[in-house]
Structure 1
Amino acid sequence: MNATTSVTVRVPAKVNLQLAVGPARGDGYHGLVNVFHAVSLFDEVTVSARTDLPPGQAVLSADGERPDHLARVPLDEGNLAARAAALLARHTPRATGVHIHLRKAIPVAGGMAGGSADAAAALVACDALWDSGVPREQLLELAADLGSDVPFPLLGHTAVGTGRGELLTPLPTPGTFHWVFALAEGGLSTAAVFAEYDRLRPDAPEPRLDHDLAAALAAGDPRRLGTALTNDLQPAALSLRPGLASVLDAGRAAGALGAVVSGSGPTCAFLAGSAEHARGLAAALRGLDECADTVTAHGPVPGATVL
């Protein structure tokens, strides 16, 4: 085993540029076409060896700027990062127990895949800590075993996910896009949003990639991209949290090029024309009843990176 005693990995949040949701499959999942875009809101996951614990067993801690979000982070074996360490340990003889520390900046239960990002980071960090040498393709397979959103943070940048979202194909995305994210009080259960989607759309068609969106990305054109943003889960999220509609309307009124609920919500994402435009949008949204805070970011950015 190498002499490394701790590894820190930085990992980005995602926004869904297109989330097309098909009917429920026999295995309980939905077929998806999910265009992931990595943005510059990062968690940092530090994994340290704990030789007093059985291989793959984890103890967790967390800190961050938002105590209300931290209160929703599970610090037990149910955390996806802990499950990632346990899963990778079964694939390497060099595993130890670990302490996993999460420095959170990605909203929790906000539709930006913070828990999935932490799991991806834990896979990368444990692989480096244990000098496992697991090939990237196998890490992607392990990530898919953990959850549909876990593979993408390994890749970063922009990619389309098919199947249940775990089968990734990179999409060319020249240039930089600027974003504002309006954070809501509390979270939304992904399972509850999908259940509401099934209620609202019992006749959901098979999902298809929006070629106008792909063309807008390839051209690096924020105006075209703004008009192409779509999320099939948005009506379900608004059904469960009606107040989010006023946030989307306020962003559009303030000049957002596009406005969409991110993933299963309740975070709302707004595309801006520039970094300055994003700062103005963020200021316009602050103080809304349904907006607890705003953050700005840009994308695309790389996936999980060892610091």
Structure 2
Amino acid sequence: MTAVDPALRVTVRVPGKINLELSVGPRREDGYHELVTVFQAVSVYDRVMVQAADEWSVRAVGPYADRVPDTEDNLALRAARLLADRAVEMAGAGTRPGPVALTVEKKIPVAAGMAGGSADAAAALVGCAELWDLGVLRDDLEPLAAELGADVPFLLHGGTAVGSGRGDDISPVLSRGEVHWVLWVTTGDGLATPAVFAEFDRLHEGQELDLPSLSPQLVSALRRMDPDAIGTALRNDLQPAALSLRPDLQEVLDAGLDLGARGALVSGSGPTVAFLVGSQAEALDLSMGLAARGPAGDILRVTGPVGGAAVVDSRGARLRL
């Protein structure tokens, strides 16, 4: 490879997600539960800058930077290394790409059920593919994304989609228009996904779980982007487990519904609580009401669906491998 030029860099913007439905079935032989989920990408974004460097590294800046590891187990760094390992066989690169330095501007809440780490991994795949001029499509990156985590394939594309299997087999949901959400994000400790699934297993010990299923009512409501119909169809089988570990979330859910939300649920493994509203004005009213009533937390007004990981800046010539 040619000498490292630190002016070569690519910046990717990537959204967080919420789960509008999460149906959890029996545990599989690989240890994961069979899932059916409906993802929606929403307008809270991380930015990941990928820069040619002499050694592999990752650092975080921004509101949630202190919760992002800068070690080898960082998911974005793992994504960059994985793509480098596969570049020759995937894209016919002449040589294995060299190291990159990743800078993550962290605005997606961490350990909040919004797939912030998975979003950064998706951004790293897209950014490195651009920097290294691999000429691959998003579909080509999906198998690598699935190796990194169940949410990563969805965040390559964004929008609204159904995930099945572990959640990584993605099919888009046809819809038109947008919906408005108010997100309540804890300022305390988050919830680790494995801990929530362990609590789910404890709560269902001895029970025979049905296979997960997709709600036709939710799919129909999303096609029409009808807030009331969507609100009625929201569902999360992990919510009782999240509430068992964080009972304070029930107070948040009750407060939002009392203040007029069209629907509410804990997103994914939590602890983020998502409230569906009918308009930007309703979102403003609800966010002000939640702030005044408590419990204390960060409150975000977002819309969805939005697109997935996308290059927003590319400086210097791409590396030729």
Q: TM-score, normalised by structure 1?
A: 0.94
1:21 pairs, out of 24, 27, 41, with 24
Residue 74 (structure 2) pairs with residue 63 (structure 1): no
Measured after TM superposition, the shift of residue 200 of structure 1 is: 1.0
* Pairing 1:72-83 to 2, within 5 Å after superposition: 72-83=67-78
- Is the Cα–Cα contact under 8 Å of residues 191 and 270 in structure 2 kept in the other structure? yes
Residue in structure 2 matched with residue 38 of structure 1 by the alignment: 41
Residue 182 (structure 2) pairs with residue 180 (structure 1): yes
Residue in structure 1 matched with residue 319 of structure 2 by the alignment: none
Query: Where do 5+ consecutive residues of structure 1 fail to align?
Result: none
1:267 pairs, out of 264, 272, 297, with 272
SS in 2 for 1:36: strand
1:242 pairs, out of 223, 244, 247, with 247
* Pairing 1:1-307 to 2, within 5 Å after superposition: 5-50=8-53, 52-53=54-55, 58-64=56-62, 66=63, 69-92=64-87, 93-184=95-186, 185-202=188-205, 203=207, 204-307=209-312
- Is the Cα–Cα contact under 8 Å of residues 138 and 157 in structure 2 kept in the other structure? no
Residue-by-residue CA offset, 1:189-241 (whole Å, 9 max, x unaligned): 11000000011123321100000000000111011000100000000000000
Q: What is the alpha-carbon root mean square deviation over aligned residues?
A: 1.4
Whole-angstrom CA distance in 1 between matches of 2:106 and 2:253: 25
Measured after TM superposition, the shift of residue 292 of structure 1 is: 1.6
Whole-angstrom CA distance in 1 between matches of 2:292 and 2:79: 38
Measured after TM superposition, the shift of residue 285 of structure 1 is: 1.0
- Is the Cα–Cα contact under 8 Å of residues 247 and 291 in structure 1 kept in the other structure? no
Residue-by-residue CA offset, 1:110-137 (whole Å, 9 max, x unaligned): 0000000000000000000011123322
SS in 1 for 2:111: coil
- Is the Cα–Cα contact under 8 Å of residues 94 and 131 in structure 1 kept in the other structure? no
- Is the Cα–Cα contact under 8 Å of residues 31 and 163 in structure 1 kept in the other structure? yes
Residue-by-residue CA offset, 1:265-299 (whole Å, 9 max, x unaligned): 01100001001100111111115554321010001
Whole-angstrom CA distance in 1 between matches of 2:243 and 2:196: 9
Residue-by-residue CA offset, 1:23-79 (whole Å, 9 max, x unaligned): 1111010111010001000000000001x22xxxx2111111x2xx32211111111
Measured after TM superposition, the shift of residue 95 of structure 1 is: 1.1
Moved more, 172-181 or 90-99: 90-99
SS in 1 for 2:198: helix
Identity across matched positions, percent: 55
Query: Where do 5+ consecutive residues of structure 2 fail to align?
Result: 88-94, 313-321
One-letter identity of the residue aligned with 1:80: L
- Is the Cα–Cα contact under 8 Å of residues 23 and 198 in structure 1 kept in the other structure? no
Measured after TM superposition, the shift of residue 91 of structure 1 is: 1.5
Moved more, 163-172 or 3-12: 3-12
One-letter identity of the residue aligned with 1:61: R
Moved more, 241-250 or 70-79: 70-79
One-letter identity of the residue aligned with 1:111: G
- Is the Cα–Cα contact under 8 Å of residues 283 and 301 in structure 2 kept in the other structure? yes
One-letter identity of the residue aligned with 1:114: G
